[in-house]
Amino acid sequence: VQRLASDGASGDGYGISVGTSGDYAVVGSYLDDNPSNSGSAYIIERGLGGSENWGERKRLVAQLPSTASDAAANDRFGESVAMDGDWAVIGAPEKNTARGAVYLYHRN
Protein backbone atom coordinates (compact mmCIF):
# COMPACT_ATOMS: atom_id res chain seq x y z
CA VAL A 1 0.00 0.00 0.00
CA GLN A 2 1.38 3.39 -0.93
CA ARG A 3 0.37 6.33 1.26
CA LEU A 4 0.88 10.01 0.39
CA ALA A 5 0.34 13.05 2.60
CA SER A 6 -3.04 14.68 1.95
CA ASP A 7 -1.37 18.06 1.55
CA GLY A 8 2.03 16.83 0.36
CA ALA A 9 4.20 18.69 -2.11
CA SER A 10 7.40 17.92 -3.94
CA GLY A 11 10.41 18.25 -1.65
CA ASP A 12 8.54 17.80 1.67
CA GLY A 13 10.57 14.73 2.62
CA TYR A 14 7.45 12.72 3.50
CA GLY A 15 8.55 9.32 4.76
CA ILE A 16 12.02 10.37 5.97
CA SER A 17 11.13 8.64 9.23
CA VAL A 18 8.41 6.16 10.18
CA GLY A 19 7.35 4.64 13.48
CA THR A 20 4.59 2.08 14.04
CA SER A 21 2.61 0.68 16.92
CA GLY A 22 -0.33 -1.66 16.38
CA ASP A 23 -2.76 -0.14 13.89
CA TYR A 24 -1.07 3.27 13.92
CA ALA A 25 1.98 4.80 12.29
CA VAL A 26 3.65 8.18 12.50
CA VAL A 27 5.34 9.48 9.34
CA GLY A 28 7.79 12.39 9.31
CA SER A 29 7.80 15.10 6.65
CA TYR A 30 10.73 17.19 7.86
CA LEU A 31 10.87 19.72 5.01
CA ASP A 32 7.14 20.51 4.94
CA ASP A 33 6.57 24.26 4.72
CA ASN A 34 4.62 25.74 7.61
CA PRO A 35 6.74 28.00 7.61
CA SER A 36 9.63 27.12 5.30
CA ASN A 37 11.12 23.69 6.15
CA SER A 38 9.62 23.71 9.64
CA GLY A 39 8.37 20.15 9.10
CA SER A 40 5.36 18.11 10.12
CA ALA A 41 4.36 14.55 10.94
CA TYR A 42 1.26 12.53 10.14
CA ILE A 43 -0.60 9.94 12.17
CA ILE A 44 -2.04 7.27 9.92
CA GLU A 45 -4.34 4.42 10.93
CA ARG A 46 -4.86 0.97 9.47
CA GLY A 47 -8.44 0.38 8.32
CA LEU A 48 -9.34 4.08 8.12
CA GLY A 49 -11.20 4.40 4.82
CA GLY A 50 -11.42 0.64 4.17
CA SER A 51 -10.08 -2.65 5.48
CA GLU A 52 -6.97 -2.61 3.25
CA ASN A 53 -6.31 1.12 3.64
CA TRP A 54 -4.03 3.21 5.84
CA GLY A 55 -5.87 6.53 6.24
CA GLU A 56 -4.55 9.83 7.53
CA ARG A 57 -5.86 10.52 11.04
CA LYS A 58 -4.07 13.78 11.89
CA ARG A 59 -1.32 16.14 10.77
CA LEU A 60 0.99 17.26 13.58
CA VAL A 61 3.12 20.39 13.70
CA ALA A 62 5.44 21.60 16.43
CA GLN A 63 3.15 22.72 19.23
CA LEU A 64 3.61 23.36 22.91
CA PRO A 65 0.82 22.38 25.30
CA SER A 66 -2.04 24.88 25.37
CA THR A 67 -0.45 27.15 22.76
CA ALA A 68 -0.56 27.77 19.06
CA SER A 69 2.09 26.26 16.83
CA ASP A 70 5.64 27.21 17.71
CA ALA A 71 6.97 26.04 14.34
CA ALA A 72 9.82 28.11 12.92
CA ALA A 73 11.62 27.96 9.60
CA ASN A 74 14.18 25.15 9.25
CA ASP A 75 13.21 23.32 12.50
CA ARG A 76 13.05 19.99 10.59
CA PHE A 77 10.24 18.71 12.83
CA GLY A 78 9.61 15.09 11.84
CA GLU A 79 13.16 14.22 10.85
CA SER A 80 12.97 11.53 13.52
CA VAL A 81 9.81 9.88 14.83
CA ALA A 82 8.85 6.98 17.07
CA MET A 83 5.59 5.49 18.31
CA ASP A 84 4.77 3.26 21.26
CA GLY A 85 1.19 2.49 22.19
CA ASP A 86 -0.69 5.78 22.51
CA TRP A 87 2.49 7.90 22.40
CA ALA A 88 4.20 9.52 19.41
CA VAL A 89 7.58 11.20 19.76
CA ILE A 90 8.72 13.70 17.12
CA GLY A 91 12.22 15.15 16.88
CA ALA A 92 13.07 18.62 15.57
CA PRO A 93 16.89 18.69 15.47
CA GLU A 94 17.24 22.29 14.28
CA LYS A 95 14.78 23.85 16.76
CA ASN A 96 16.17 26.53 19.10
CA THR A 97 19.19 27.43 16.97
CA ALA A 98 20.11 23.77 16.38
CA ARG A 99 19.91 22.80 20.06
CA GLY A 100 16.99 20.62 19.01
CA ALA A 101 13.71 19.67 20.63
CA VAL A 102 11.52 16.62 21.14
CA TYR A 103 7.72 16.76 21.17
CA LEU A 104 5.51 14.14 22.83
CA TYR A 105 1.94 13.52 21.69
CA HIS A 106 -0.58 11.27 23.44
CA ARG A 107 -3.58 9.83 21.63
CA ASN A 108 -6.85 10.48 23.42
| Distance, CA of 49 to CA of 51 (rounded, Å) | 7
The overall average pLDDT reported for the chain is 91
Closest CA to 35 of 87, 6, 82, 74: 74
pLDDT at site 1: 65
23-39 pLDDT tens trace: 999 999 999 988 899 99
Of 97, 68, 79, 76, residue with least CA distance to 26: 79
How many CA atoms lie within 13 Å of 87's alpha carbon, on the beta-carbon side?
A: 6
Residue 42: beta bridge partners? 27, 59
User: Does residue 65 surpass a pLDDT of 80?
Assistant: no
Q: Global pTM?
A: 0.90
